[in-house]
Amino acid sequence: MPDFLEKFFPVVYRKTRNPGIDGNYCKYDNQGLQLFTSSLYLAGLTATFFASYTTRRLGRRLTMLIAGFFFIAGVVLNAAAQDLAMLIIGRVLLGCGVGFANQ
């Protein structure tokens, strides 16, 4: 995790290395980190509504295939991420995959 924090969240990384900060709340208080964490869940919630329509119109099998494509695209984007924007977009795609798979 330190390498990940250093690359994508350098402010948080510096806070974790500061011995003067005791609580985890102060160390991990970063909007980018919060967006990274919640983007998957928010995308999953939103995608579920679209997936219900897709399931009704196209059936369960095609909806599961669409979920698989979202998962693959999200994993590829997260694996190749060079900055925070790519990382968050990958998480949003993974959230869409979760939303479609849950439907």
Summarize pLDDT for 30-89 with one digit per residue, the tens: 888 889 999 999 999 999 999 999 999 999 999 999 999 999 999 999 999 999 999 999
Read off the pLDDT band of 28 (50, 70, 90): confident
Q: Are 74 and 47 in contact (CB under 8 A)?
A: no
Single out the residue of 8, 7, 1, 3 nearest to residue 88, CA to CA.
8
The beta strand positions in 1-103, using DSSP E, are none
The beta strand positions in 17-96, using DSSP E, are none
Interacting residues of 50 by C-beta distance below 8 A, sequence separation 6+ = 99, 100
Read off the pLDDT band of 25 (50, 70, 90): low
Q: Are 99 and 43 in contact (CB under 8 A)?
A: yes
% helix, strand, coil for the chain, step of 5: 85, 0, 15
Domain count for the chain, please give it: 1
How big is the chain, counted in residues? 103
Domain hosting 29: range is 2-102
